[in-house]
Amino acid sequence: MKNPVSRREFLAGAGAIGSLMLVGCDANAYLPPKVRGGLMGVSDVLTMATQRLMLSGQPLAQEHDVSEITKNFPTWGNTNPRQEDFQRLLSGEFVDWRLPVNGLVNRPISLSLEDLKRLPQRTQITMHICEQGWSAIGQWTGAPLLEVLRAAGGVADDARYVVVDTFDGWYESYDMFDVVHPQTILAYGLNGKDLPLGNGAPVRLRVERACGYKNLKFLKSINVVSSMEGIRGGTGGINSDSNWHWYAGA
């Protein structure tokens, strides 16, 4: 084998195309919003297509026993957004916090913390896996994202991504495959208490099959869109805008 890189590239490409053929015509659910060029793009497609194929029955991420909960769940990344709008809400104990749900929904809404707590609730004990080399088990309580979209009257036919913005300027998008998953929740509780500030108060996203950076903290708004084109860097998230993977299965 003269050139191991091109051989690997060929194998990855063949695998990706094979997976896409197997999943049939809805190839969209197997591709990131923007496919990168080169070997990274090929491996993105291969990874996502393979995982989606394996997860096509929407299995749950492993849930753990209460005895396995990590004492003092770590905080990581931003732990207290300095932005003025956030600081104002924090000092009012988030009574005035509202989560607008806009875009391709049938009835745009704006939810208070109390509204969110009145929606159907899910509690799950799961392992958070940070791409930077640590993991911890926590018990999260919140409203399934699907229920939030239902409260907004459902989504339009051309809805493809849910875009989440945060008070510290982060954003990420999630395709409908992950959006409708039962463990994708807007969490307001950790280990039976209100979500602590450092872990993303008042509400954070839990996307249990994705690694740390897709689990956004300090939620500010939700938008349903048909494409990520023209939104910020156009790759579908703050992390993929700086060359991390958009699809970050854990």
Ligand X SMILES: Nc1nc2c(c(=O)[nH]1)N[C@H]1C(S)=C(S)[C@@H](COP(=O)(O)O)O[C@H]1N2
Q: Which of 212, 219, 228, 247 binds Mo ion (CB under 5 A)?
A: 212
Task: Check residue 184 and give left, alpha or beta (phi > 0: left; psi -120 to 50: alpha).
Answer: beta
Minimal distance, residue 40 CB to ligand X, in Å: 20
217 binds, among Mo ion, ligand X, none (CB under 5 to 8 A by kind): ligand X
Q: How far apart are CA 63 and CA 52, in angstroms?
A: 20
Site for ligand X in 67-96 (CB under 6 A): 74-78
CB-CB contact of 16 with 219 (8 Å): no
CB-CB contact of 152 with 159 (8 Å): no
Contact between 55 and Mo ion by CB under 5 A: the answer reads no
Give, for 4, the enclosing helix (H) or strand (E). helix 4-23
Q: How far apart are CA 132 and CA 16, in angstroms?
A: 27
216 binds, among Mo ion, ligand X, none (CB under 5 to 8 A by kind): ligand X
Nearer to ligand X, 177 or 218 (CB): 218
Minimal distance, residue 215 CB to ligand X, in Å: 5
Minimal distance, residue 204 CB to Mo ion, in Å: 13
Site string for Mo ion, 189-208 (x = CB under 5 A): --------------------
Greatest Cα pair distance in the chain: 65
Instruction: Give, in degrees to the nearest 5, the angle at Cα 184 between 41 and 99.
Output: 105
Minimal distance, residue 139 CB to ligand X, in Å: 13
Candidates 44-52, 84-92, 196-204, 229-237 — which segment interacts with ligand X by CB under 6 A?
A: 196-204
# residues contacting Mo ion (CB under 5 A)? 3
Q: Which of 32, 33, 202, 212 binds ligand X (CB under 6 A)?
A: 212
Nearer to ligand X, 160 or 220 (CB): 220
- DSSP letter (8 states) at residue 110: E
Candidates 2-10, 50-58, 148-156, 210-218 — which segment interacts with ligand X by CB under 6 A?
A: 210-218
Q: 46-54: long-range contacts (C-beta < 8 A, 24 or more apart)?
A: 46/12, 46/13, 46/15, 46/16, 46/19, 47/245, 47/247, 47/249, 48/247, 48/249, 49/16, 49/19, 49/20, 49/23, 50/15, 50/19, 51/247, 51/249, 52/23, 52/177, 53/19, 53/22, 53/23
Minimal distance, residue 205 CB to Mo ion, in Å: 13
Site for Mo ion in 105-134 (CB under 5 A): 130
Site for ligand X in 217-236 (CB under 6 A): 217-218
Contact between 199 and ligand X by CB under 6 A: the answer reads yes
* Cβ neighbours for 50, distance < 8 A, ≥ 6 positions apart: 15, 19
Q: Which residues bind Mo ion (CB under 5 A)?
A: 130, 212-213
Q: Which residues bind ligand X (CB under 6 A)?
A: 74-78, 130, 166, 168, 170, 198-200, 212-213, 215-218
